[in-house]
Amino acid sequence: MAISAQADSGTVLDRILQARRLEVDHRKRVLPETALRYGVNAATPLRDFTSALTRDSLNIIAELKPASPSKGILRDPFHPVELAQSLESAGAAVLSVLTEGEFFRGSLKNLRDARKAVKLPAFRKDFIFDSWQVWETRANDADSFLLIVAALSDELLRDLIALGRQLKMEPLVEVHTAAELDRALAAEARIIGVNNRDLKTLDLRVETSFELIERIPDSCIAVSESGLRTHDDLVRLRNAGFDAFLIGESLMLSPDPAAALATFLGRPGLPV
């Protein structure tokens, strides 16, 4: 099944951002930031996202993703609570939950429901470009969130990182190129995600991670994202210097996501 708005002009990232800006503008009128700040005060206590990524193991961020622009519908029916519980049992370090609705079929409800069902930290995967969204993220109980360098100016990137830290959430700052990595480091990002999928073209190159890891300081947490297919992929990337690995489509397309996760961890056949 095709994801909507694919025929529009511009890159995939441009189309997604255009749609998100319209939605966020509407939601800001309905729910002012002042109300979100009250919601943050009532949010559940934070879980330690940073520590979960730096354990001495293959730390997998297991992604709950109903659909994607490149593959269409990935999982239908989609049951976030059951998926979250089974992936936690199989050894996930963190849950990543898509909350963008039009292109990925995600929702904030999926985030809240999945996090409530497990003890793992929950990471909000979305297209965030406004401080209002950061407040919204914490008000919905997330423990961290994504910032995509390609979608942000240098000033906005710095401001959103700072707001995340004010709210005790260290964001994962995603890059696709050496130039974007330089910008993330200049903004003093502490968790760097290397996305092997170029969001402007949807081209996929796992080599991107190997090309950029030498440029990521040891003081930063390094995460490889997208296109990871086997346990050996994770071992090679960990030996290269990565601390954690974000895996979504391979899990969501599997008849048994928990068994697939156990195989990634090198424990095939593990009872879950």
| Alpha-carbon distance values, 239 to 91, 109, 210, 213 (Å) | 20, 37, 10, 11
Checking if the pLDDT of 268 tops 90, the result is: no
Beta carbons within 8 Å of 216's beta carbon, 6+ residues apart: 181, 192, 194, 222, 241
Active site residues: 63, 65, 125, 174, 195, 225-226
pLDDT number for residue 11: 85
pLDDT band at 270 (very low <50, low <70, confident <90, very high): low
Cis peptide before 77 (omega within 30 of 0): yes
The answer to pTM > 0.85 is yes
Element (DSSP H or E) covering residue 225: strand 221-225
- Asked whether 193 and 225 are in contact (CB, 8 A), the reply is yes
Phi, psi of 154 (to 5 degrees): -60, -45
When pLDDT is averaged across residues 65-86 and rounded to a whole number, the result is 95
- 143 vs 69 pLDDT, higher one: 143
- Beta strand 221-225 pairing with 144-148: unpaired
- Taking only the tens place, the pLDDT of each residue in 7-25 is 344 788 899 999 999 999 9
- Taking only the tens place, the pLDDT of each residue in 100-147 is 999 999 999 999 999 999 999 999 999 999 999 999 999 999 999 999
Q: How far apart are CA 243 and CA 241, in angstroms?
A: 7
| For the chain, percent of residues with pLDDT exceeding 90 | 88
The DSSP call for residue 171 is P
Structural domain spans, the chain: 12-264
Q: What is the mean pLDDT of the chain?
A: 93
pLDDT band at 269 (very low <50, low <70, confident <90, very high): low
- Asked whether 180 and 154 are in contact (CB, 8 A), the reply is no
- 71 vs 238 pLDDT, higher one: 238
- Beta strand 94-98 pairing with 172-175: unpaired
Checking if the pLDDT of 4 tops 50, the result is: no
- Asked whether 102 and 19 are in contact (CB, 8 A), the reply is yes
Q: How far apart are CA 129 and CA 89, in angstroms?
A: 34
pLDDT band at 200 (very low <50, low <70, confident <90, very high): confident
When pLDDT is averaged across residues 16-42 and rounded to a whole number, the result is 94
Of 178, 243, 236, nearest to 206 by C-alpha is 236
pLDDT number for residue 51: 98
pLDDT number for residue 1: 27
Fold that domain 12-264 belongs to in CATH: TIM Barrel (3.20.20)
pLDDT band at 93 (very low <50, low <70, confident <90, very high): very high
pLDDT band at 272 (very low <50, low <70, confident <90, very high): very low
Checking if the pLDDT of 202 tops 80, the result is: no
When pLDDT is averaged across residues 76-92 and rounded to a whole number, the result is 97
